[in-house]
Amino acid sequence: DAKTTQPNSMESNEEEPVHLPCNHSTISGTDYIHWYRQLPSQGPEYVIHGLTSNVNNRMASLAIAEDRKSSTLILHRATLRDAAVYYCASTTSGTYKYIFGTGTRLKVLA
Amino acid sequence: DTEVTQTPKHLVMGMTNKKSLKCEQHMGHRAMYWYKQKAKKPPELMFVYSYEKLSINESVPSRFSPECPNSSLLNLHLHALQPEDSALYLCASSRTGGSNQPQHFGDGTRLSIL
């Protein structure tokens, strides 16, 4: 099974960029990298996903290493509403099965 | 507002009770999932349904019984649960279940076993 690891917690000042790392040590060539975030008392919310090249959407950017063993979620200007637990995830050999990382709790300081 | 609706939001039950969790989506998605999430841990996959057929069972004990009556509904039947089964149970859906498709999660049912 794919194994994904993340730092337990990170802090950022409001309106500054945040780079959240994830290691995908056992990811295979066809497995997409996904990022979700979870606010208290809510289910995970989709943020972004990609396969090999960097991706941008209205919420964030995703940078994927050339060997795909790591990825970085970039929030360009953190706001207080971005405080959440961020999970990276990847599927297993192209199946429906997500393996979630351990999650990074992001604290945003006003 | 989430597009995946789970009911009830909270459930307290005894170890001998039988109850069911319900999940509904109207996005036309054909893959639906059940996850279990313990406090301060990531979600763990339990079951996957694809086109109303069970495609993945992650060795879940038989006291959890999933059912997919149609493409919009997913149930999880509970019977003779143990205190360690207390957790947040999340339902999710995706368009067809491929690796490149994001999953849409409900807000979960918080289950407590007395």
For the record, the structure tokens of A13 come out as 């000042």
A28 band by pLDDT with thresholds 50, 70 and 90? confident
Looking at residue A1, its pLDDT comes to: 54
Q: Which residues in B lie closer than 8 A to residue A45 (C-beta atoms)?
A: 105
Q: In this predicted model, what pLDDT tens digit does every residue of B98-113 receive, in sequence order?
A: 888 899 999 999 999 9
The whole-angstrom distance between A17's CA and the closest CA on chain B is 24
Mutate to test the interface with A, among B56, B99, B110 (most CBs of A within 10 A): B99
Q: In which element (H, E) is residue B40 found?
A: none
> By the CB < 8 Å criterion, does A30 face chain B?
yes
Q: Which residues in A lie closer than 8 A to residue B55 (C-beta atoms)?
A: 96
How far is B37 from A56, CA to CA, in rounded Å? Answer: 29
Peptide bond into B8 cis (omega under 30): yes
Q: Are B46 and B35 in contact (CB under 8 A)?
A: yes
Contact B56 A95 (CB under 8 A): yes
Question: Residue B102 is which amino acid?
Answer: P
Q: What is the DSSP string of B85-98?
A: G-EEEEEEEESS--
Contact A49 B105 (CB under 8 A): no
How far is B58 from B107, CA to CA, in rounded Å? Answer: 22
Q: Are A90 and A33 in contact (CB under 8 A)?
A: yes
Dihedral, A37, A38, A43, A48 alpha carbons, nearest 10? 0
Tokens 């995706």 identify what position?
B94
Across the range A42-56, mean pLDDT stands at 94
Alpha-carbon separation of residue A106 from A37, A81, A82, B4 (angstroms): 10, 10, 8, 25
Q: In this predicted model, what pLDDT tens digit does every residue of A70-100 receive, in sequence order?
A: 999 999 999 999 999 999 998 876 677 888 9
Question: Out of A30, A46, A103, whose CB is closest to B99?
Answer: A30
Q: Which stretches of chain B score pLDDT less than 50?
A: none
Say which DSSP state B15 is in.
T
Query: Where do the DSSP E strands lie in chain B?
Result: 4-7, 10-13, 18-25, 31-37, 44-50, 53-57, 64-70, 73-79, 87-94, 104-105, 109-113
Question: Out of A43, A96, A101, whose CB is closest to B90?
Answer: A43
Say which DSSP state A66 is in.
T
Residue A2 has pLDDT above 60, yes or no: no
Contact B102 A43 (CB under 8 A): no
For the record, the structure tokens of A84 come out as 């959440």
Looking at residue A31, its pLDDT comes to: 87
Query: Where do the DSSP E strands lie in A7-96?
Result: 9-13, 18-24, 33-38, 45-50, 55-56, 61-64, 70-75, 84-91
Q: Which residues in B lie closer than 8 A to residue A28 (C-beta atoms)?
A: none
